[in-house]
Copies of this chain bind each other. A is one copy, B any other.
């Protein structure tokens, strides 16, 4: 008996370690699907927050949803880098009561990032249509949750 106990234990340990290895190797697919669902749900929630902030002209709350070194690329303007510059842009952009609405088309989860493709629509509070078009937002996983690291959009309307 004693002769076989050590190899049995060692083989069991070895099998455990191999299972652990395979689990780690196999993790990406399952983890990716879970990540995609979780990222989509978090983005849905953050978009509600963003829309509420757009509608109330709350540029500080919008800026807080970007990473510290985010790059914002608005049409017909140089790119802006960092939360302060981004808050300045949204303060100016929302001053006339624009009502922005966002609709996610798809989310690609990739490592520590989630790449959102979507459509935006801007109306005035009285319902007058201002603009609509497409956007790509690159969300980054941070300790505070997903935050926008890149934000670029353009209009579908004639110039």
Chain A contact residues, CB within 8 Å of chain B: 3, 6-7, 10-11, 13-14, 17-18, 20-21, 24-25, 32, 71, 73-79, 108-113, 115, 117, 133-136, 138, 149-150, 152-159
Contact = CB atoms under 8 A, between A and B. Distances in A.
A138 to B, nearest CB: 6
B136 A152 contact: yes
Contacts of A115: 110, 113, 115, 138, 150
A108 B149 contact: yes
Copies in the complex: 2
Contact of A73 (B14, B20, B134): B134
A56 to B, nearest CB: 26
Given A20-B21, A109-B111, 20 more contacts: A3-B3, A10-B10, A11-B14, A13-B14, A18-B20, A73-B117, A73-B133, A75-B75, A76-B155, A76-B157, A76-B159, A108-B138, A110-B113, A111-B111, A113-B113, A113-B115, A115-B115, A117-B150, A152-B152, A152-B154
B76 A154 contact: yes
A17 B149 CA distance: 38
Contacts of A7: 6-7, 10
